[in-house]
Amino acid sequence: MKKELNYIDLIRSRNSTRDYEQHALTDTDRAQIMEAVASAVPLDGLVLLDWKIADRFPMGCSGILYAECGSSDEELANYGYQGEQIVLALLADGWGTCWYYQVRLPGSPCSITVGKPATRRVRSVVMSVLSRGQTRKSMELLVPNGIPEHVSPLVHTVAESARLAPSAMNRQSWSFEVISDTQIVIKGDTGRFPDLGICLANAMVTARQLAGTATVSRLSEGTYSIAW
Ligand SMILES: Cc1cc2nc3c(=O)[nH]c(=O)nc-3n(C[C@H](O)[C@H](O)[C@H](O)COP(=O)(O)O)c2cc1C
C-alpha cells in the first residue's frame, strides 16, 4: 500500500546531510531506496527518469542516486522535480541525502548522495556555513507583489514549502506570484541546475497533501503554475 507522507513536516525538517555512518547498502536498503524512487511523479508531459544507485561514496555516503537526463530547461526541471520527491521520501525512512553537483555521472546533471546520517564533523559544518545552508530569503523578497491579505492559509503553506527548497549554492533563484486562493506561479532561473524543479516539487507535494490534488503546468521557459 502507498505510504501517506507528511511532506510539510519533511520539508521543514530536511537539510543536506554531508556526514554519513559507514554503512554498506543491503538488498533491503536498495529496495527501500527504489521504493522512494517509485513514489516520485514526473512533470506533466515528461518521462519518469530511470534512477539508479551508483556505488560511489562521496562524503562517506552509502551510494548515489542519478539518472540520465537531457539538458533542456524542462528536462532539468523534471530532474529536480523527481529528485526532490525522492529526497523527501528517503528522509521519511531515516535516510540522509545531499544534492551534489560536484559528482556528475555520465548523462546526469548532478547526483543525490544517500546514507545513514552521522554526527556532523567540522568539514560539513564549514560547508554548510559557506553555502549559508541554514538561511533562506524572506518571503517578502520572494513575492515581489506581496501576498494578498485575505488569501487562504493554504497559499502561505505552499509558498513556505517552496521557499524552503534547497538549491545549488543556496542561490534560491526563484520568485513567486499569488494568483488566487488556489494557484501560485513560480518563476526561476533555468541553466545548468535542476533547482526550479526542486522548488516546484516542494510546492506540489504540499498542495497535494493539503488539497488532495495539485496540477503543475509550464507556462513558459522558467515559469510554472501550481494549482489545487
Ligand atoms: C542542484 C544542487 C546541487 C548541489 N551541489 C552541492 C555540491 O556540489 N556540494 C555540496 O556540498 N552541496 C551541494 N548542494 C547542497 C546545497 O548547498 C544546499 O542544498 C543549500 O546550501 C541549502 O542547504 P540545505 O540543503 O541544508 O537546506 C547542492 C544543492 C542542489 C539543489
On whether both 28 and 122 belong to a single domain, the answer is: yes
Residue 51 has which C-alpha cell? 534512477
CA distance 4 to 83: 18
pLDDT value at 1 more than 60:
no
Show the beta-strand stretches assigned E in 67-214. 96-100, 111-115, 174-180, 183-188
CA distance 16 to 1: 29
Of the candidate ranges 98-102, 125-129, 142-146, the one whose mean pLDDT is the lowest:
125-129
Confidence at residue 130, expressed as pLDDT on a 0 to 100 scale = 82
On whether both 80 and 166 belong to a single domain, the answer is: no
Mutate-to-test residue for ligand 1 from 82, 170, 193, 195, highest number of ligand atoms within 8 A of CB: 170
- CA angle in degrees (0–180, nearest 5) for 163-110-159: 10
Ligand 1 geometric centre to CA of 100 (Å): 6
Q: Please list, in sequence order, all residues whose beta carbon lies within 8 angstroms of the beta carbon of residue 2, skipping any fewer than 6 positions away.
A: 39
* Domain final position from 128, 149, 171: 128
On whether both 73 and 46 belong to a single domain, the answer is: yes
Confidence at residue 134, expressed as pLDDT on a 0 to 100 scale = 83
On whether both 116 and 80 belong to a single domain, the answer is: yes
Show the beta-strand stretches assigned E in 116-173. none
Assign residue 207 a region (left: φ > 0; alpha: ψ between -120 and 50; beta: otherwise): alpha
On whether both 110 and 173 belong to a single domain, the answer is: no
Residues having CB within 6 Å of any atom of ligand 1: 15-16, 18, 98-102, 110, 127, 131, 133, 166-170, 193-195, 198
On whether both 55 and 30 belong to a single domain, the answer is: yes
Task: Considering only CA atoms, give the Rg of the chain.
Answer: 17
CATH number of the domain where residue 86 is located: 3.40.109.10
Residue 196, domain extent:
139-227
* Straight-line distance from the first to the last Cα atom of the chain, in angstroms, rounded to the nearest whole number: 24
Confidence of residue 18 (pLDDT cuts 50, 70, 90): very high
Q: Give the number of C-alpha atoms closer than 13 A to the C-alpha of residue 150, restricted to the C-beta side.
A: 0
Taking residues 155-160, report their average pLDDT.
98
Residue 210 has which C-alpha cell? 493539503
On whether both 159 and 48 belong to a single domain, the answer is: no
Q: Kindly tell me the sign of the dihedral angle through the C-alpha atoms of 138, 143, 147, 153.
A: negative
Ligand 1 geometric centre to CA of 195 (Å): 10
Ligand 1 geometric centre to CA of 18 (Å): 10
On whether both 107 and 189 belong to a single domain, the answer is: no
Which atom belonging to ligand 1 lies closest to the Cα atom of 102? 8
- Please check whether residue 49 is in contact with residue 68, taking contact to mean a CB–CB distance below 8 angstroms: yes
Confidence at residue 2, expressed as pLDDT on a 0 to 100 scale = 66
Ligand 1 geometric centre to CA of 103 (Å): 12
Confidence at residue 28, expressed as pLDDT on a 0 to 100 scale = 98
Confidence at residue 194, expressed as pLDDT on a 0 to 100 scale = 97
150 lies in a domain?
A: yes
Q: What is the average pLDDT score of the chain?
A: 95
- Please check whether residue 204 is in contact with residue 216, taking contact to mean a CB–CB distance below 8 angstroms: yes
pLDDT in tens, 198-212: 999 999 999 999 999
User: Considering only CA atoms, which residue is closest to atom 27 of ligand 1?
Assistant: 15
On whether both 110 and 179 belong to a single domain, the answer is: no
3 residue type, one letter: K
Which atom belonging to ligand 1 lies closest to the Cα atom of 98? 15
pLDDT in tens, 29-48: 999 999 999 999 999 999 99
Mutate-to-test residue for ligand 1 from 88, 131, 171, highest number of ligand atoms within 8 A of CB: 131
Ligand 1 geometric centre to CA of 171 (Å): 9
Taking residues 41-69, report their average pLDDT.
96
Which atom belonging to ligand 1 lies closest to the Cα atom of 109? 1
Nearest alpha carbon to residue 191 among 117, 86, 101: 101
